[in-house]
Structure 1
Amino acid sequence: MFYLCNYSSQIGLITLASQQNKLVGAWIEGEKYFGHILNTPTEEKPNLPIFNSTKKWLDDYFLGKKPDLSQLELAPNGTPFRHLVWEILCEIPYGNVTTYGDIAKQIAIKTNKSSMSSQAVGGAVGHNPISIIIPCHRVIGTKGNLTGYAGGIDKKIQLLQIEGVDTAQFFIPSKGTAL
Structure 2
Amino acid sequence: MTAGVPAELAARLAALTPDQLDRLRARLREQAPRAQARPTPGQERLWRAHHTAAGRPVDVVCQAVRLTGAPVDLDLLAERVQGFVRAHEALRTTFEEHLGVVRPVVHEDLPPRLVRTRCPGGPEQAHALARELAHEPFDLAEGPLLRVALAEGASGEEAWLLVVVHNLVFDAWSFE
| Range class of TM-score, shorter chain | under 0.3
TM-score (norm 2): 0.26
Structure scoring higher RCO (CA < 8 A, sep ≥ 6) equals 2
